[in-house]
Amino acid sequence: MNKNVKQGIFGLALVIPSFLLLCFVVIAPIILAINESFRDDNGNYTFQYYIKLFTDKGMSANILFTLKLTIISVIAVVLIGYALAIYMRFSSGPIVNGIKKMYMIPMFVPSVIASYGIINMYGNHGWLSRLLLPLGVDSIPKIIFDYKGIILANLWFNIPFTTMLLASALSGIPSALIESAKDIGAGRLQIFFKLIVPLTYRTMLVAITFSFMGIIGGFTAPFLIGPNSPQVLGVAMRQVFSVYQETQLASATAVFMFVLCSFMGYFYIRTMIKDDKVSSH
Residue-by-residue pLDDT tens, the chain, 281 positions: 667 777 778 778 888 888 888 888 888 888 888 999 998 888 889 999 999 999 999 999 999 999 999 999 999 999 999 999 999 988 888 888 888 888 888 888 888 999 999 999 888 788 888 888 888 777 778 888 888 999 999 999 999 999 999 999 998 888 888 888 888 888 888 888 888 888 888 889 889 998 999 999 889 999 999 888 899 999 999 899 888 888 999 999 999 998 888 888 888 888 777 767 666 65
Give pLDDT, residue 190.
87
Give pLDDT, residue 256.
92
Q: Give CA–CA dist 177/245, Å, rounded.
A: 60
Give pLDDT, residue 215.
92
Q: Does residue 43 belong to any structural domain of this protein?
A: no
Q: Containing H/E element for 105?
A: none
> Per the structure, how many domains does the chain have?
2
Q: Does residue 42 belong to any structural domain of this protein?
A: no
Q: Is the same domain home to 5 and 82?
A: no
Q: Is the same domain home to 32 and 66?
A: no
Cβ(220)–Cβ(119) below 8 Å = no
pTM of the model: 0.86
Give pLDDT, residue 262.
87
Q: Is the same domain home to 3 and 78?
A: no
State whether residue 40 is helix, strand or coil. coil
Burial 109-122, CB ≥16 within 10 A → b, else e = eebeebbeebbeeb
Q: Is the same domain home to 54 and 26?
A: no
Q: Give CA–CA dist 37/63, Å, rounded.
A: 17
Give pLDDT, residue 279.
62
Give pLDDT, residue 166.
93
Q: Give CA–CA dist 121/110, Å, rounded.
A: 16
Longest dimension (CA), the chain: 84
Q: Is the same domain home to 14 and 69?
A: no
> What's the burial of 74, exposed, middle or buried (CB within 10 Å: 0-12/13-18/19+)?
buried
Nearest to 248 by CA among 53, 24, 27: 53
Return the half-sphere exposure (C-beta side, CA atoms, 13 A cut-off) of residue 175: 3
Cβ(106)–Cβ(157) below 8 Å = yes
Cβ(31)–Cβ(245) below 8 Å = no
Give pLDDT, residue 67.
94
CA 176, 182, 188, 192 dihedral sign is negative
Q: Is the peptide bond before 222 cis (omega within 30 degrees of 0)?
A: no
> What's the burial of 141, exposed, middle or buried (CB within 10 Å: 0-12/13-18/19+)?
exposed
Cβ(62)–Cβ(232) below 8 Å = yes
Give pLDDT, residue 222.
92
Q: Is the same domain home to 134 and 155?
A: yes
Give pLDDT, residue 217.
87
| Residue 39 dihedral angles phi and psi, to the nearest 5° | -120, 135
Give pLDDT, residue 83.
93
Q: Is the same domain home to 5 and 97?
A: no
Strand partners for 45 = 39
Q: Is the same domain home to 57 and 25?
A: no
Give pLDDT, residue 278.
60
Give pLDDT, residue 51.
92
